[in-house]
Amino acid sequence: MKFAFTEDQLLFRDTVRDFLAAECGPAQVREAAAGEGRSPARWAKLVEMGLTGLTVPEDQGGLGLSLVDQVLIAEEAGRAALPEPLVDQIGIAAPLLSAFADRADVAEILEGVAAGTVKIAAGHPLDPFVADAGEADYLLLGREESLHLVPRDRVTLTAETSVDPLRRIAAVDWTAGNDTLLSSDPAMLDRMLDLGGLAAAAQGLGLAQTMVDLAAEYARTRQQFGKAIGSFQAVKHQLATVQVAIEFARAPVYKAAFTLGPRDISHARVAVIDAAASAARTAIQVFGAMGYTYEVDLHFFMKRAWALAGVWGDRHYHLARLSRMVLSDDAALGADGTFADK
Amino acid sequence: MDLQYTPKQQAFRAEVRAWMAAHVPKQRLKSYDTAEGFEEHRGWERVLNSGRFGMVTWPESLGGRGADLIEWLIFEEEYYRAGAPGRVNQNGIFLLGPTLMEYGTAEQKARFLPRMAAGDDIWAQGWSEPGAGSDMAAIRTKAIRDGKHYVINGQKTWSTRAVFADWCFGLFRTDPESSRHHGMSFILVPLDTPGITRRPIPQLDGEPGFAELFFDDVRVPVENRLGDEGQGWNIAMATAGFERGLMLRSPARFQETAKRLVQLYSRHEARVSPGVRDQVLKAWMDAEAYALNTYMTASRLIAGGKIGQEASLNKIFWSELDRSMHETALSILGARGELLASGVDEADDITRWLKGFLFSLAGPIYAGANEIQRNIIAERLLNLPR
């Protein structure tokens, strides 16, 4: 029993954090929102760092790392509100497709994912829109209980506008065929939802922390009544309360990355949705009227968090799923139940 | 990351489980805040010690097993799973014990720790005073050096377990000219010393869980001082860190409460409003989150890390979780929830919820009020100005 990341994992996380701080700071996010939305130059650097191949098997040119490695990177992508769809590649597409790497066409696609030349969008039938479908080469989609891998030219997209100026979403119209079928095992579709939920939860942790950090930074400098507003307990206690919620959402996310169990994923998901919502609500209050403007960077992080709260099974979906597992007669509950449930 | 218990850890769990099954009293002991219940619980501490389960993290030479923190968590899980009695000596074993190990002389360790482990000395704490609660640096009770003794005069309050305990530890002002956190020393005082008057204070449930202590020319040998003279504040802060941090409230306790809450909800599901389900699930998630967080902290400490501000995060989280679980339970129980005692079968569980609720209200207040913890988080973790 060792509930800790390795030195190497933390070191890699720090490298990615430093990289994103330099290449994807709030000013660059604002720039992206005002311009093209995606930066090919930044994507090329992410590829160069090996990040697009993080969870692609080594046989297909990836690093062959696990979702435990991935969860730390997804958290950093959230912390920076990274516009490029890195997390969907390494948190959803690559882990799902790796199970079919014995198929030559899938193996080739995975090689492209690792090289950053092939992009895959993923959408579960529960969700009305698919993110980054327009730029994708393939889409992972569900129909009835089957999982399909659909080439971009086989779908019709209707673009919609997200509250998050950096999220590109579209409704997808498509016809399933035998040639698009990846798996008719319903567990694979559930797996896609769980991977999506984990990716959203990890990003939510990072987003929530950035919102608190931005608000704390503002509270240190903004003066009223002759003092920094951060010296007032009314402000301190609100931010401290959010920090508590973030800290106690963290371990459930990390555990879910290790077990990939539905009970753990749903727990992580609900905990992060709540922590991030509370971070957004509190941060905008600390910023006051400034927080209500487009001019302060806070909104990029709030909007990403709001959008991610609804996809891959929303709060109600995960609470309902959790209730079926926790309230069942044979649930492993109580003091020795934490690591007994698999 | 490896979230599987090793065979050695599984064997330890099996050993604890078997021992608890054989030794945990079948009948619930009387409250340790009554004279009779206090001695029953002292007896249980002796039983635990006879199985070397008094304090498993202590070295074998002191009656422990040299267990690491993961094994300690396993022990706690089995302890609460078995429904074993509360620890009447928690002030001693969880708070003073670790402090003694860090700051005590070899002589002091040998003198106090084995008797503590055996339940021979039950400890109370002496921090707060009428004018020094959250603002502990306002302590005024003096301990003035007179040859080989300190002479203590003043008053302590909210002294947990002090009505029946054998000893108390606390902070006393050894430099009468000093102020705030300077000039205080950490002193261990036998509660049967002449000049000490104990006034029991009944808690919400009517039982005297704490007391006021009056010191009137109380003479205590100098060798009862822990650490250097004037170093008391720093030692007290270390003790408070243990208290808020890992030891005092292990996750198992809250996981068992969450489990009981799930069971209570299942019995009453048909008649309560649907929204209660989400409160019950939240309780379960939070109890799990606290356990997971503690496993992460334990893994980090085993690898050589130090406990830091997570002590304050923990204290807020478990105390507010405990209160909210009991509120939810009482809301499910509805009109039955007022039953403090009854002859009907069901009443034992109801009374547990009610008494647990009353006690849970103290959680956000003791061990440093949650307002103080939020200040600490804001100032030390988020770097907000004082």
Q: Is the pLDDT of residue A253 over 60?
A: yes
Rounded to an integer, the average pLDDT of A269-293 is 98
Distance CA B173, CA B179 (A): 9
Q: Using CB atoms within 10 Å of the CB of residue B77, give its burial: 0 to 12 exposed, 13 to 18 middle, 19+ buried.
A: buried
Predicted local distance difference test score (pLDDT) of residue B306: 81
* Cross-strand pairs, B168: B124, B189
Question: Under a CB-based contact definition with an 8 Å cutoff, are residues A248 and B294 in contact?
Answer: no
For residue range A220-232, list pLDDT tens digits in order: 999 999 999 999 9
Q: Give A273→chain B minimum CA distance, Å.
A: 13
Local structure of residue B142 (DSSP, 8 states):
E
Domain boundaries, chain B: 7-88, 123-230, 249-381
Helix ranges (H only) for chain A are: 7-23, 26-34, 40-48, 67-80, 86-87, 94-98, 104-115, 186-221, 233-259, 262-287, 298-310, 315-326
- What does pTM read for this prediction? 0.96
Rounded to an integer, the average pLDDT of A91-112 is 98
Predicted local distance difference test score (pLDDT) of residue A179: 95
Question: Under a CB-based contact definition with an 8 Å cutoff, are residues B78 and A336 in contact?
Answer: yes
Predicted local distance difference test score (pLDDT) of residue B259: 96
Q: For residue B169, give Cα distances in angstroms to A38, A192, B156, B187, B242.
A: 63, 57, 11, 6, 15
Contacts 24+ apart (CB under 8 A), B174-180: B174/B142, B174/B143, B174/B144, B174/B145, B174/B150, B174/B229, B174/B230, B174/B232, B175/B229, B175/B230, B176/B142, B176/B144, B178/B230, B180/B137, B180/B138
Other CB atoms within a 10 A radius of the CB of residue A293 amount to: 10
Chain B residues with CB-CB distance to A333 below 8 A: 255, 258-259, 262, 284
Question: Under a CB-based contact definition with an 8 Å cutoff, are residues B134 and B369 in contact?
Answer: yes
Which residues lie below 8 Å from residue A177, measured CB to CB, with a gap of 6+? Answer: none
CB contact under 8 A, B316 and A252: no
CB contact under 8 A, B375 and A233: yes
Of the residues B45, B77, B212, B243, which is catalytic? B243
Q: Using CB atoms within 10 Å of the CB of residue A310, give its burial: 0 to 12 exposed, 13 to 18 middle, 19+ buried.
A: middle
Chain A residues with CB-CB distance to B292 below 8 A: 3, 251-252, 254-255, 338
ipTM value of the model? 0.96
Distance CA A294, CA A288 (A): 13
Q: How many residues does this entry show for chain A? A: 342
Mean pLDDT by 10 residues, chain B (386 residues): 96 98 94 95 97 92 90 96 95 90 94 94 95 93 97 97 97 94 96 98 94 98 97 86 69 96 95 96 98 94 84 94 98 89 70 93 94 96 96
Residue to substitute from A321, A333, A339, interface B, most B β-carbons within 10 A: A333
Residue A22, CA atoms < 13 Å, CB-side half-sphere:
8
Distance CA B150, CA B308 (A): 33
CB contact under 8 A, A3 and B286: no
Nearest to A49 by CA among A82, A81, A26, A27: A82
- Clarify whether B338 is annotated catalytic: no
CB contact under 8 A, A254 and B285: no
Q: Is the pLDDT of residue A170 over 90?
A: yes
* Cross-strand pairs, B219: B151
Question: A157-194 burial by CB neighbour count: b if 16+ within 10 A, else e?
Answer: beeeebebbbbbbbebebeeeeebebbeeeebbbbbbb
Q: Is the pLDDT of residue A65 over 90?
A: yes
Predicted local distance difference test score (pLDDT) of residue A23: 98
Which residues lie below 8 Å from residue B189, measured CB to CB, with a gap of 6+? Answer: B126, B152, B167, B168, B169, B170, B196, B218, B220, B224
Question: Under a CB-based contact definition with an 8 Å cutoff, are residues A32 and A83 in contact?
Answer: yes
Predicted local distance difference test score (pLDDT) of residue A113: 98
* Cross-strand pairs, A140: A122, A149
CATH of domain B123-230: 2.40.110.10
SS (H, E, C) A235-286: HHHHHHHHHHHHHHHHHHHHHHHHHCCHHHHHHHHHHHHHHHHHHHHHHHHH
Predicted local distance difference test score (pLDDT) of residue B237: 84
Chain B residues with CB-CB distance to A339 below 8 A: 3-5
Rounded to an integer, the average pLDDT of A122-131 is 97
In three-state secondary structure terms, A158 is strand
* Domain B249-381, CATH class in plain words: mainly alpha
The beta-carbon neighbor of A336 closest among B81, B277, B371 is B81
Q: Is the pLDDT of residue A342 over 50?
A: no
The gap from C-alpha A215 to its chain's centroid, in whole angstroms, comes to: 22
Structure tokens at B92: 């001693």
Distance CA B177, CA B381 (A): 34
Chain B residues with CB-CB distance to A233 below 8 A: 371, 374-375
Domains belonging to chain A, first-starting first, are 1-113 (1.10.540.10), 119-184 (2.40.110.10), 197-326 (1.20.140.10)
